[in-house]
Chain A
């Protein structure tokens, strides 16, 4: 199949044929020079899809696919009989670039994986490199990391709930409420790191720079006011009859399937599986904090929503304790070396409980300045793999909120 697009420039662009527009490989030769004629060349009836079924591409330019994600759905009326997720539109060659860059040079790239949670991405990567090179993280830096990671969790979860409501058709009101709180946290990030979203803040064996004067007080204020916002948010949403009707019993994910598919994070916990890497690995200093892991029971969209809301409340507990106990001291390991880091030959897998699930980094060092192999375990992508299982037999409207409740960021899915 060749697309010839000869406009007034006279140049000819050929789009590779691997990007087939059709669901089942039926391709159509389209010559845009003669639109009327060529349109009629499109398949009238589809060989695999029976006549009364409707084959719709939802995405990449769809308002609620959270970016350039595509769901090829086959519809019977409104019911989905087949769904194929298609992604890769945002592929940026992240892993290969990282293999050609120094260890330090990859940190800014990790910001852009899941661009809502740059701090925890940094941590996952830093943790792996620390495992590889054996740097020790000073006390104060550990506390700063916990604070940043939990603030990131708050940002991610409120954004998720806002977007989920947007998908459900709530005209942006919850989203705007969520963004009001998010702004306060982003202000904190900006004060600490200089950037609001692409923070690039953590370093191997610590953090890049110390917190500015007064930052902790500001953070305490934000954390103190946050429960009020959460109460307001829940008053608006959790008891809402329409939300309950839309979300309960929709997109049910069984425990076994979830575990077998490698689902992690709030999605797994909404199914009732107690698995939180903060508790399992106790990485960093998470063993010092007293927090609980909320578990769902039904594994539907409502549970995923509620688990996230409850998780935010637990995060606030951690934040309160961390902001109370944070000591003075070094912020980076004195022996740590960022520039020209050449870890000894070996491999390491470091993982953290990112807001979306298990975020893992796998590194192989051959002793040179660049990693020999660099691999990300993206929670968004792996949580997305079971989309069809959750959507089959439901309607388009359900598919949209199920996708919303999976919580994907396309930067991480496509890397």
Chain B
């Protein structure tokens, strides 16, 4: 196996340990909770009021997971757009100082122009009131 991948073996182990620990604790607590509350649970076998969704003591009207305002999804889309820009920025940032010694103006100019285009898009979104929540 090449070294790039062997780096990630600890991650895999940690993943398994974390899943095991979290799920194990949860299952243990569910079992313990059943055991510790067995008296109460028997008495309450029929009355399931406690398992209704919490709505401040009222009975919920309508569905608990309806569609919500489109504003939320707009934010998600903008996020994806800008997040991709960040991905482009990472490799540039890493090589920036090395490149500066050999080819300074090019590396600076390329990213400044990229940021400039990004800024134009940002200002467009701003003017279109994509970031305004009041409207």
Q: Which residues of A contact B (CB under 8 A)?
A: 5-8, 21-23, 26, 28, 30, 32-33, 35, 39, 42-46, 49, 51-62, 70, 76-79
Contacts and interface: CB of A to CB of B under 8 A. Distances in A.
B4 interface: no
A221 to B, nearest CB: 43
B27 interface: no
Contact of B61 (A23, A58, A59): A23
B44 A7 contact: yes
Contact of A45 (B43, B48, B62): B62
B55 A57 contact: yes
B56 A8 contact: no
Interface stretch (B28-36, B66-74, B120-128): B66-74
B59 interface: yes
Contacts of B63: 44-45
Interface in B65-113: 66-69, 71-72
A21 B61 contact: yes
Nearest to B43: A8
B47 A5 contact: yes
A43 B62 CA distance: 6
Contact of A33 (B46, B51, B55, B66): B46
Interface string B11-52: 000000000000000000000000000000001111111011
Interface string B115-135: 000000000000000000000
B10 interface: no
B58 interface: yes
A324 B72 CA distance: 61
Nearest to A60: B57
A389 to B, nearest CB: 19
Which of B49, B57, B62, B63 has the largest number of chain A CB atoms within 10 A?
B62
Contacts of A51: 66-67
Interface of B: 43-49, 51-52, 55-63, 66-69, 71-72
The 8 A-B pairs with the shortest beta carbon distances in the complex, nearest first, are A77-B69, A35-B48, A61-B57, A57-B58, A21-B59, A7-B47, A62-B56, A22-B61
A45 B61 CA distance: 9
Given A33-B46, A54-B68, A76-B69, A26 B61 contact: yes
Given A77-B69, A77-B71, A49 B62 contact: yes
Given A21-B58, A42-B61, A59-B56, A6 B68 contact: no
A78 B59 contact: no
A285 to B, nearest CB: 46
Contacts of A76: 69
Nearest to B72: A77
Contact of B47 (A32, A62, A78): A32
A52 B67 contact: yes
A55 B61 contact: yes
B56 A44 contact: no
Which of B61, B62, B66, B71 has the largest number of chain A CB atoms within 10 A?
B61
A49 B51 CA distance: 26
Contacts of B61: 21-23, 26, 28, 42-43, 46, 55, 57
A267 to B, nearest CB: 25
B47 A56 contact: no
A24 to B, nearest CB: 9
Contacts of B49: 5, 32
Nearest to B59: A21
A70 B58 contact: yes
A257 B60 CA distance: 34
A51 B67 CA distance: 8
A44 B43 CA distance: 31
Given A51-B67, A52-B66, A32 B59 contact: no
